[in-house]
Structure 1
Amino acid sequence: MKRTFYFLSIFALVICAIFIVANIRQKAKDRQAFQSLDQVIPVNAVPASMELFQDKISAVGTLRARQENLLSPKVAGNVDAVLVDIGEKVKAGQPVIRLDKTTFRLAVKQAESAFSAAFAAVAQVKSQLSQAGKEYNRAKNLLAENVIPQNRFDAAETGYNTARETLLVARGKHSQAKAALETAKEYLNYTEIHSSIDGVVVQRTAEIGQTVAPGVQVLRILDQTMVRADIELPEKDFGRIGFKTTAVMMVDAFPEIKFNSKVTVINPMVNPGTRTFKVRVETSNQTGELVDGMFVKVDFLLHQKEALAVPRGALQKLPGSGTYYVFAVKSNKAFKKEVKIGIKTDKFAEVIDGLARGELVITNGAGKLRSGINVKISNKAVETLKEG
């Protein structure tokens, strides 16, 4: 019984000690808070004012060249000469790769010989047909006069018909030999590969002595005098984009340059899987800064509007939320105000709700501020805060 009383007494003392310590700490915090509220923080402040905003739709894509020429041989063979290299400019019709012509020239000579023989055969059969025709006509007349028997006429007629059939066969072989010669000459021409566009070589896989096969790419040539990007936009923006919509392209390689572009294609269909539609934008690239494959950001510029705004430095965001706020100044005190934000630029943010025109907003030192704290507007606020 005494032991139980002893433990209960100790427990009561511990609880009392905890309450006393907690009370002391809370009073210290309260004193610190009052001291903070009494402290005067130097700040920079500007009035919320009307600014001009550009309403726009931003998207990203990949640049593609105006034209692409993927070259591959039409006949199998060994590479005899590579006439261009990566980075070189070429003209349409210019030879770029030559294959070994030896085998193909031999095939042409053989085809020419076969064609000549077939031509001679046709001439010979024509002569035989002419003679057979004369004998047939003579036999026909003699049979009518009963000078020769029927079997002699039949033999002349058979010879004539046989000559006619032989001529048809000879002419067929002649046509085949002619086609074979044309094919051999065409294959010989195929040993020289030409560019079909004006452009620049961007990829080469062929080497001298290499055996190449039909359909296997050996060169890639691009016409990049104009580049394009196919952009996927959400269906809610379908009615906001037109062929007169101004667009600008931006690439990481030249962050200071905005490339004026134009809308050339609007796909009149929404993809039911992604709920997007495709828009193509193009820009002139005569100076060559833009190249195929670049990551590109595209801004579609819709219309301009004047709206209430605050500097981006005044705008703060609650961590882990989409809630924005600013610190406004009234009677030399800072007050936290939630605001609804619209368009944001590098310098300003549009304020849709939560702030009135002319209200002073603090543009620096938000980490040291809270509602009710005393502030003093000072041009040297940034330096003063850094020193503190």
Structure 2
Amino acid sequence: MKQSSTTAAVRNCCSRNFPKSLSVLLLPLVLGLAGCGKDAEQVEAPPRPVRTVTVELSDTANPVSLTGRIEARNEAGLGFRIAGRLIERSVNVGDVVEPGEIIAKLDPQNELNALSSAQAALNAANGQLNKSRNAFERQEQLLANGFTTRAVFDQAQQALLAATSQVDDASARLKLARDQVAFTELKADTAGVVTARGAEPGEVVQAGQMIVQIARENGRDAVFDVPAQLLRNLPPDPLVTVRLNDNAAVTAQGRVREVAPQADPATRTFPVRVGLIDPPAAIRLGAGITGSVVPQAGSAINLPASALTRIEGAPAVWVVDPATESVSLRNIEVAAFDPAMVVVSQGLEVGEIVVTAGVQALHPGQVVRLLGVQP
């Protein structure tokens, strides 16, 4: 009905204002424009071409690579035993320190005054001790000759004991004051490298506050974040080969020294520390590394790394439904990965089809055209 009205209107207009021959030419064009909206609604997007791979089990005895970092085996934060104002810090991050080296100082004026007071108290106590000792010796001789009483002798003896105790107390206080003066200097207890600083000169610091952090030079650890599936497949006491990311020629070997008892809440991986055996000097703290290890023999699903994507912060892949040739996004659990391959421990079944190229342009339910299914 709408098309008939439009045709009639065009005929009337053309009959009044245009020659008949021109109206005949315009009529098909107007009719085509009237129906173009309906045709556009019926046009569907063509299937998107993608490359895929068929899921199958493969041997997992091949070496698995993980990225990690170099950390000190033992790292300690050094701080003063007393509070005070920091007047000097002689080291910075990256400096090498030796045992007994002074690395920071507090203002020692209050402690020096306390030391002087303790020394004076000890001198006074020694004077009182000498006086009490002389009095006791005189009373002892008088008592032997019968020229004094036992009560006076006992008083002299008691005064001598009190004076001796005062000297002992003053000596202990003097030692404590000397220790307090010594505590105003912070010394390195072992050789190492400064990795962090916690206070600047002029600040008032508290007892135990970290002033510098030192990585002790008694070992290096390679630290990796390892998935639980790979941990289960590791052989007992595996030998791990470590290479520097910026220089693959620099290598070292080590053994697993520590496995964290709890997984990281964000990545669900377990930090593993590998103690390196005589690492070369080129393997420095904080260096990026790649470690490789051969897991126990078994079977797993290997996919090209290009198939991996993410959904809600978790790894996922696009799976093709053979019946409808549409795709859906599915979460998977990754056991290990490297730049070329992903080892999947859960989430896929043998025989399923996974998209390996074109994953960035897909959306759930989209129809695809398979360019090639690798058996």
Where on the TM-score scale, by shorter chain, does this alignment land: which range?
Answer: 0.5 to 0.7
Q: CA deviation at 1:88?
A: 1.1
For 1:178, the equivalent position in structure 2 comes to: 171
Change (3 A) 1:127 1:288: farther
Specify the code of the residue in structure 2 equivalent to 1:291. L
> Aligned residue pairs: how many?
317
The Cα offsets for residues 119-153 of structure 1, whole Å up to 9 and x where unpaired, read as 232222122112111222222xxxxxxxxxxxx7x
Q: 1:238 to 1:364 in 2, by over 3 A?
A: closer
Structure 1 residue identity aligned to 2:186: I
Q: Which amino acid aligns with 1:162?
A: Q
Q: Which of the residues 63, 75, 84 maps onto 1:68?
A: 75
TM-score, structure 2 normalization: 0.58
Give me the whole-angstrom Cα distance separating, in 2, the residues matched to 1:308 and 1:169: 85
Task: Sort the Cα spacing of 1:345 and 1:51 in 2 relative to 1 into closer, same or farther, 3 A.
Answer: farther
Paired position in structure 2 for 1:161: 154
Selected match of 1:218 from 186, 211, 219: 211
| Within-5 A mapping of 1:62-101 | 64-101=71-108
Q: How does 1:198-347 map to 2 (within 5 A)?
A: 198-223=191-216, 225-229=219-223, 231=225, 233-234=227-228, 239-247=232-240, 254=246, 260-266=253-259, 280-284=272-276, 286-287=280-281, 289-291=283-285, 300-303=293-296, 322=317
> Where does residue 41 of structure 1 map in the other structure?
none
Which SS does the other structure have where 2:81 is aligned? coil
Alpha carbons of 1:246 and 1:130: their partners in 2 closer, same or farther (altered >3 Å)?
same
Change (3 A) 1:175 1:345: closer
User: What amino acid is aligned across from residue 185 of structure 2 in structure 1?
Assistant: E
Distance in 2 between residues matched to 1:169 and 1:312, nearest whole Å:
84
Match of 2:128 among 88, 98, 121: 121
SS at match of 2:173: helix
The structural deviation recorded for 1:212 is 3.1
1:178-197 correspondence to structure 2 within 5 Å = 178-197=171-190
Give the residue type in structure 2 aligned to 1:226. Answer: R
Distance 2:110 2:305 in 1: 74
Amino acid at match of 1:93: G
* Aligned amino acid, residue 165 of structure 1: Q
The separation in 2 between residues aligned to 1:230 and 1:159, in whole angstroms, is 81
Q: Which moved more, 1:259-268 or 1:50-59?
A: 50-59
Specify whether residues 286 and 160 from structure 1 end up closer, same or farther in structure 2 by C-alpha distance, changes over 3 A only: farther
Equivalent residue, structure 2, for 1:43 = none
Give SS of 1:203's match. Answer: strand
Tell me the distance in 1 between the aligned counterparts of 2:105 and 2:129.
38
**Structure-1-length-normalised TM-score:** 0.57
- Contact 2:92–2:197 under 8 Å retained in 1: yes
User: Residue type matched to 2:84 in 1?
Assistant: G
Q: In the aligned structure 2, how far is the partner of 1:323 from the partner of 1:79?
A: 60
What is the root-mean-square deviation of aligned Cα atoms in Å? Answer: 6.0
Shift of 1:197: 2.6
Task: Tell me the distance in 1 between the aligned counterparts of 2:179 and 2:58.
Answer: 69
Q: Structure 2: how far apart are the matches of 1:162 and 1:63?
A: 72
Between 260-269 and 52-61, report the one with greater CA deviation.
Answer: 52-61
Amino acid corresponding to residue 227 of structure 1 in structure 2 = D
SS in structure 1 at match of 2:149: helix
Q: Gapped runs of 5+ residues in structure 2?
A: 6-34, 47-56, 326-331, 362-367
Task: Provide structure 1 residue ranges, at least 5 long, that are not aligned to the other structure.
Answer: 1-5, 11-20, 34-49, 140-151, 326-335, 356-362, 376-388
Could you tell me how far 1:277 is from its partner in structure 2? 9.4
One-letter amino acid matched to 2:121: A
Partners of 1:204 and 1:220 within 8 A in 2: yes
Amino acid aligned to 2:285: V
Seen in structure 2, the aligned counterparts of structure 1 residues 312 and 180 have a Cα distance that, compared at 3 Å, is: closer
Residue 130 of structure 1: SS of its match in structure 2? helix
State, as a whole percentage, how many aligned pairs show the same letter: 17
Contact 1:205 1:219 in 2 (8 A): yes
Inter-partner Cα distance in structure 2 for 1:269 and 1:205: 29
Cα contact 1:55–1:303 (8 A) shared by 2: no
